[in-house]
Amino acid sequence: MAMPFCNGDSLNSLSDHEMEKTVKKRYIKLIALTVLTVACVLFLNLSGKGTKANAASNLWFEQDKYIVYEGNTFTLNLIYNGEEMIQQTDDFWYYGVFSSSDESVASVSYSGEVVCQGTGKCVITAYYLDMSVKCTVKVKANKMDLSTEEDTLYSHQEVKVTASGIKNASSYSCDIHRIDDDESWLWDDMPEVNWDGKGGFSIKAGRKGDYRIRLIIQNKKGVTYSKNFILHTIEAGPSTSDLSIAVGGSKEIGMANSDIVSVELKRWYEPESNYYHEAGESGCPIESDNTGKFTAKGEGTAIYSLSYMVDDGSILETELTVSGYVPEYRSFGSYLWVGQYYYPYIENSRWNAEIRITSSNPDVVTINNAGEIVPMSGGKATLTIWVDGMTFIDDIEVIDAHINSSNILTWPGTKFSFAVSGIPAGMKVTYSSSDESVATISKKGKLKTKKVGFTKITVKIDDMEYYYTVNVGQEIPVEAAIAASEVVGKATYSQDRRMEEGFYDCSSLVWRSYAKAGIRFVHEDYAPTAADLAKYMEDNGYTISYGLLPTSEMQPGDILFTSSGYDNGRFMKIDHVAMYYSTEDLYDTDVPYGYDYLYEGSDGYGTIVHAGKNGGGVYYSGYPYGSVVMIARINPDDFKK
């Protein structure tokens, strides 16, 4: 073996013994130098003088010290394995968390946004899996002052706010956050903020709402200062800034906490034209009675200046856009079906169209609060649809079809007969299977399963289609999956009472479901932990994957083992187990936040059944699910006595 040596005395002149001593000395020096280098790196990182604040992991803040000012807001840039902005990813939201040592100095949100609350110093810690990293935040007193920090304005009213204490201001920005509890929101609700380039802000109220406006100024040195301004808006003036009216109809603008003083035409447009006419030119399609009532004589748009007096006597002014158009209603022209929701189809409609629908027979079809047409039972009814002043009539018939099936979980060689009722005599019904190698279905609805797999049965009645899934697996695993599904919503999660009737934890659900199907894993009278069950599956050759599989390769009764990544000292860090129930998301379930995506190579969603604290007992979830580290599938023949 060739040894690397630095320049120096030749070794050729040394005896074997001297050469051995020389080599040992030089290797000792090399080892000592290496240890010293590693120690220095660790010291720098652990003392906060390096970029990585946690040298034992691949997690670090891009910056480990921040010097900021009261009122400042910034987002931490956390890096994991070289990937920036880990707090923005689904994986961090599922497994990560931030905390502040002193929230009176700086608070931190789940996404890493830091809000500087007061002067002082604190430590922000990010936890991700079994790692943690820290950075310090020093908050200095804010030199920026506002002439007023809170005001109440009527809609469209304006206030001047002056910022002082900042020298050499070079740029400004603002953040606007709504702080009231009103969940309704329109684009014209928001206030407007403008800067005069020196230190003055002009804040104009929108239509309504309470807002926290963070006014931000940056000086020429790049130092950022900010201060919050609280705006309370009293809704006043017109209820909208954009009014649509069907040709031939009229509308009256709603006014809040105010009275109209004057209505003045400014300009008008012909349909589909950017060319405008002056107020004095003839042919305007919109007429006003100067009291707030507008009539659409034809198609086109008019811009009015509307002045109004608010309760304190102030006269305010805003622009109102009024459009005339011809809506066209398209009749449903066919049956409506119980179990579906319908919207009226209005051609040439407007984004702000006012639509009202009534039913002559609410027992047959009703209208919900969202304006949806909801069939309730079989029968006939008349719908009256009012669109911006124009009325349409539609006579409809509702079909309440019943099919004697749900989604099917079974094994090869089983049979089932579909039957349809509640439809008019002679209405055509057809059946089809998406994969006849898994299951076939006859013209009369006779289903026969052939092999393990998945197929979708389509029952078509007239122009309406109903879908049913057929999941075919091995008999015992299917029975176990069905046993687990039978306690969904009927059980309580408990580790202490996991083997008692009505109580489950994740591993006891799997064990007891399989026990009901005739197989007991690991122990004869009690369930192992999830990790011990996984070890048993691997030791006995039942592992089929060390990660997620496409739904096309999954079968009912497959056992999924997941790990949150924390080192719990157990096999593969496993801390949860679930059972695959069916291909396709049968119950409109949500996969855990951060896993609502189809990974590369996946071909659809599935459904699992499991027990957990978050679900309050036994419940369904969507597949893909969590961080699957292993999937097992038993061979029932191995358990035959």
Which pair of structure tokens corresponds to residue 509?
């659900």
CATH for 553: 3.90.1720.10
Q: Are residues 496 and 631 in the same domain?
A: yes
* Domain enclosing residue 80, as ranges: 59-140
CATH for 227: 2.60.40.10
- Torsion sign (Cα): 352, 354, 359, 362: positive
Give me the pLDDT at residue 228, please.
87
Q: Are 176 and 256 in contact (CB under 8 A)?
A: no
Nearest to 623, CA basis, from 454, 458, 404, 467: 454
Average pLDDT of the residues in 178-194: 79
Q: Are residues 488 and 593 in the same domain?
A: yes
Cut 0.75: pTM above it: no
Q: Are residues 392 and 406 in the same domain?
A: no
Contacts of 514 (CB under 8 A, 6+ apart): 476, 477, 480, 520, 521, 557, 634
Q: Are residues 619 and 493 in the same domain?
A: yes
From 69-83, 338-352, 407-421, 463-477, the region with the lowest mean pLDDT: 69-83
Give me the pLDDT at residue 334, please.
84
Portion of the chain with pLDDT greater than 70, in percent? 84
Q: Are residues 336 and 357 in the same domain?
A: yes
Residue 193 pLDDT > 70: yes
Q: Are residues 349 and 462 in the same domain?
A: no
Q: Which of 315-319, 599-603, 612-616 tops mean pLDDT?
A: 315-319
Give me the pLDDT at residue 95, please.
53
Residue 9 pLDDT > 60: no
Contacts of 61 (CB under 8 A, 6+ apart): 53, 76, 77, 78, 79, 126, 133, 134, 135
Indicate whether 9 belongs to any domain: no
Residue 112 banded pLDDT, cuts 50, 70, 90: confident
Please give the residue that has the higher pLDDT: either 390 or 85.
Answer: 390
Q: Are residues 257 and 308 in the same domain?
A: yes
Which pair of structure tokens corresponds to residue 320?
């109102």
Q: Which of 280, 306, 325 is the last residue of a domain?
A: 325
Residue 266 pLDDT > 80: yes
Give me the pLDDT at residue 96, please.
67
Indicate whether 52 belongs to any domain: no
Residue 57 banded pLDDT, cuts 50, 70, 90: low
Give me the pLDDT at residue 52, please.
42
Q: Are residues 529 and 615 in the same domain?
A: yes
Average pLDDT of the residues in 321-350: 93
Tally the domains of the chain.
6
For residues 302 and 325, give the distance between their C-alpha atoms in angstroms, rounded to a whole number.
12
Q: Are residues 490 and 616 in the same domain?
A: yes
Q: Are residues 63 and 114 in the same domain?
A: yes
For residues 190 and 229, give the distance between their C-alpha atoms in angstroms, rounded to a whole number.
14
Indicate whether 49 belongs to any domain: no
CATH for 377: 2.60.40.1080
Portion of the chain with pLDDT greater than 90, in percent? 61
For residues 481 and 618, give the distance between their C-alpha atoms in angstroms, rounded to a whole number.
12
From 12-21, 25-34, 374-383, 490-499, the region with the lowest mean pLDDT: 12-21
Q: Which of 178, 203, 234 is the last residue of a domain?
A: 234
Indicate whether 228 belongs to any domain: yes
Indicate whether 135 belongs to any domain: yes
Contacts of 434 (CB under 8 A, 6+ apart): 455, 456, 457, 458
Please give the residue that has the higher pLDDT: either 482 or 188.
Answer: 482
Give me the pLDDT at residue 476, please.
97
Q: Which of 90, 110, 140 is the last residue of a domain?
A: 140
Residue 17 pLDDT > 60: no
Indicate whether 24 belongs to any domain: no
Q: Are residues 199 and 259 in the same domain?
A: no
Give me the pLDDT at residue 599, please.
37
Indicate whether 12 belongs to any domain: no
Indicate whether 487 belongs to any domain: yes
Q: Is 572 helix (H, G, I), strand (E, B) or coil?
A: helix
Q: Are residues 408 and 321 in the same domain?
A: no
Angle, CA of 372, 375 and 379, to the nearest 5°: 145
Give me the pLDDT at residue 481, please.
97
For 519-574, what is each residue's pLDDT tens digit? Answer: 999 999 999 999 999 999 999 999 999 999 989 899 999 999 999 888 889 999 99
Give me the pLDDT at residue 632, please.
98
- Mean pLDDT computed over every residue of the chain: 85
